Amino acid sequence: MIEFATLINALDSSNKASLKKEAIIRFLTFAPEKDKRWFLALMTGKRPRRPVSTKDLKTWALEITGIPEWLFIESYAAVGDLSETLSLILPPPLEKTDRSLNDWMEDILLIGNASLAEKKEFVLASWNRLNTIERFIFNKLLGGSFRLGISSKGLINTIATHFQIEPSIVTHSIMGEWNPHDFAFDKLVRGEYSNTNLSKPYPFCLAYPIEKEVEELGPISAWQCEYKWDGIRGQLIKRGDEIFIWSRGEELVTSQFPEISDALKQWNGSFVLDGEILAAKDGQILNFNELQKRINRKVISKSLREEVPIVAYLYDLLELDGKDLRSETLQDRRKLLEQLYQPNVGPTIQLSPLIHCENWAELRTLQATSRELNSEGIMLKKKDSVYYVGRKKGGWWKWKVNPMTIDAVLIYAQKGSGRRSAHYTDYTFAVKDGDQLVSIAKAYSGLTDKEILEVSRYVRQHAIEKFGPVRTVKPELVFEIAFEGIGYSKRHKSGVALRFPRILRWRRDKKVDEIDTLENIKKLIP
């Protein structure tokens, strides 16, 4: 347990990717085999159900310490994490233990079916044998809300580096259902229990934002033009009659889009397609907020499939019947893609429509109005370009429309993490809804270091209420918020959600009565 606690403490206490990587590799080098399996299980969400409620943990901690409720609330507000607060207020342990993470996890599995009295006895005895850091981890494991201080992608890349294998192999190997009791850690991550070559994707070819006037690119006839869609960029792979769908974030999302898999099963041959996964209904591309309803769902119900139908727009063909086509020109790859698609025309998988214009002026008009189609702008791809790895200037450009903006007032603030943990850097903004203010977006970037210090000073001096780590502030500071898209949302109090909101500038020249209204903002929704 001490190795695992040391690892989590290292991940949480640093923002440097190199230090996180070193901590993980150190754990993988020295931790027992069974602990490594549980580490991987916890990382991939394979955690036991919550055996003890956080309410009971809090009650028992207050009984032990005699701390009054009001003081605990203040402590929790200062710390910002319940498990950490509990670990800090408890008295020093009277015993010591050197049990492994696996031993603790086995006990946690068993205690799930115990009586409340037995659970209390187990928790109190455990607290009395663990130091502060170990208690924090123990509380997290019990509470069912355990999270690592690193992204899944970062962890997968670190494991791949340590074992000198491709990240896609690790991702493929640990997907799906597996039990930490049944597999050897090294063999699992190396893909020895599955054929990882079938699912292996190619590195994505990416575009740079256009840096000059499009007329400087030469004749428009040399460029393939198509709309830039706001969805999930993905590779659709069919090899050996198996289907795999990879997101650009190197995540396997096959199970989230079963209609795409069903459609691809009807296609002959093997291939790797590059495209965009979108929510679409009645021939219209829906807002990205609709697509979000399908993301990270373990089960895609029939009703959800009907509510948010999916379409995949195909951009490119990277492999056909085992042959790598990336060194072929885009023009030739497009012809092969059209030939592959022709016998398989259907509503779920479609070719991304090409835009044919006589000149750049005509394309400018389409670009300026592209948001009306729920598009972010225009993609420009040179017809003789190969499918290169990553970004390479000159071949592919993205010509995005200018972001939408609103003026909103700061109403909530919370301290950041890492080097910004002493300052308020996480903000919630509101707009007018009649005589009331309603929250419209959260933003974490856009201010200079000097402005952050000013805002933090304002929050400390004008905080009205405390809700854990969050501070309600007097609504006076107005900011211009930029965003890429907007749509209706049942999850937000305002009824709308902004896509990629960020602070454009601090509007010191505006008063709170000059901010935008919710009524006018809803008019921006396509």
Given pLDDT bands bounded at 50, 70 and 90, which one contains residue 175? low
CATH number at residue 419: 2.40.50.140
Given pLDDT bands bounded at 50, 70 and 90, which one contains residue 279? very high
* pLDDT at position 146 over 70: no
Note the residue count of the chain: 526
**Exposed, middle or buried: residue 345 (CB in 10 Å: 0-12, 13-18, 19+)?**
exposed
* pLDDT at position 418 over 80: no
**Helix (H/G/I), strand (E/B), else coil: 501:** coil
Report how many domains make up the chain: 3
In a domain, 339, yes or no: yes
Residue 228 and residue 373 in one domain: yes
- Span 485-520, pLDDT tens digits: 888 887 788 888 888 899 989 998 889 989 999 999
In a domain, 153, yes or no: no
Q: Identify the helix (H) or strand (E) that includes residue 2.
A: helix 2-12
Q: How far apart are CA 239 and CA 404, in angstroms?
A: 42
Q: Identify the helix (H) or strand (E) that includes residue 60.
A: helix 54-65
Given pLDDT bands bounded at 50, 70 and 90, which one contains residue 385? very high
Question: What per-residue string of b and e applies to 274-301 under the rule 16 or more CB within 10 Å gives b?
Answer: bbbbbbbeeeebbbbbbbbbbeeeeebe
Q: Which is the catalytic residue, given 36, 119, 140, 228?
A: 228
- Span 426-466, pLDDT tens digits: 999 999 998 899 999 998 888 888 899 999 999 999 988 88
Q: Where are the beta strands (DSSP E) in 291-374?
A: 310-320, 323-324, 349-351, 354-355
The residue among 359, 372, 356 whose CA lies nearest residue 214 is 359
Kindly state the average pLDDT of the residues 24-49: 82
Domain of 467 in residue numbering reads as 404-522
Q: What is the pLDDT of residue 149?
A: 67
Q: Which amino acid is at 473?
A: V
Q: How far apart are CA 409 and CA 475, in angstroms?
A: 6
Report pTM.
Answer: 0.63
In a domain, 150, yes or no: no
- Span 114-140, pLDDT tens digits: 899 999 999 999 999 988 888 888 888
Residue 320 and residue 362 in one domain: yes
Kindly state the average pLDDT of the residues 361-372: 92
In a domain, 162, yes or no: no
Q: Which residue has the higher pLDDT, 401 or 193?
A: 401
Indicate if 228 belongs to the active site.
yes
Give Cβ neighbours of residue 60 (< 8 Å, ≥ 6 apart).
120, 123, 124
Residue 389 and residue 418 in one domain: no
The radius of gyration of the chain's CA atoms, rounded to the nearest angstrom, is: 26
Residue 377 and residue 395 in one domain: yes
Q: Identify the helix (H) or strand (E) that includes residue 430.
A: strand 424-433
Q: Beta strand 396-400 with 208-209: parallel, antiparallel or unpaired?
A: parallel
In a domain, 152, yes or no: no
Bridge partners of 429, per DSSP, are 410, 441
Q: Which amino acid is at 169?
A: I
Q: What is the pLDDT of residue 102?
A: 87
* pLDDT at position 419 over 70: no
Q: How far apart are CA 450 and CA 443, in angstroms?
A: 17
CB atoms within 10 A of CB 49: 8
Structure tokens at 62: 């207050």
- Which of the listed residues 92, 127, 143 is the one where a domain comes to its end? 143
Bridge partners of 312, per DSSP, are 277, 349
In a domain, 171, yes or no: no
Q: What is the pLDDT of residue 235?
A: 95
Contact 427, 444 (CB under 8 A): yes
Contact 211, 177 (CB under 8 A): no
**Helix (H/G/I), strand (E/B), else coil: 135:** helix
Residue 236 and residue 372 in one domain: yes
CATH number at residue 108: 1.10.3260.10
- Which of the listed residues 366, 400, 434 is the one where a domain comes to its end? 400
- Which of the listed residues 369, 400, 431 is the one where a domain comes to its end? 400
Residue 333 and residue 476 in one domain: no
CA 94 to chain centre: 42
- Span 211-262, pLDDT tens digits: 889 999 999 999 999 999 989 999 999 998 889 999 987 788 888 999 999 9
Q: What is the pLDDT of residue 417?
A: 67
Q: How far apart are CA 415 and CA 58, in angstroms?
A: 24
Residue 134 and residue 41 in one domain: yes
Give Cβ neighbours of residue 13 (< 8 Å, ≥ 6 apart).
none
Residue 236 and residue 121 in one domain: no
Kindly state the average pLDDT of the residues 177-203: 77
Residue 393 and residue 423 in one domain: no
- In degrees and rounded to multiples of 5, residue 117 shows phi and psi of -65, -40
Residue 292 and residue 383 in one domain: yes
CA 497 to chain centre: 16
- In degrees and rounded to multiples of 5, residue 485 shows phi and psi of -160, 170
Q: Which residue has the tokens 């854990």?
A: 468
Given pLDDT bands bounded at 50, 70 and 90, which one contains residue 11? confident
* pLDDT at position 410 over 90: yes
CA 205 to chain centre: 21
The CA distances from residue 48 to 9, 162, 208, 254, in Å, are: 22, 28, 44, 24
Residue 372 and residue 459 in one domain: no
Q: Which residue has the tokens 């390479």?
A: 392
In a domain, 193, yes or no: no
Structure tokens at 249: 């974030």
Given pLDDT bands bounded at 50, 70 and 90, which one contains residue 354? very high
Instruction: Calculate the average pLDDT of the chain.
Output: 87
Residue 244 and residue 103 in one domain: no
Q: How far apart are CA 413 and CA 406, in angstroms?
A: 19
* pLDDT at position 52 over 90: no
CATH number at residue 284: 3.30.470.30
In a domain, 182, yes or no: no
Bridge partners of 397, per DSSP, are 208, 380
Structure tokens at 51: 């055996």
Contact 442, 494 (CB under 8 A): no
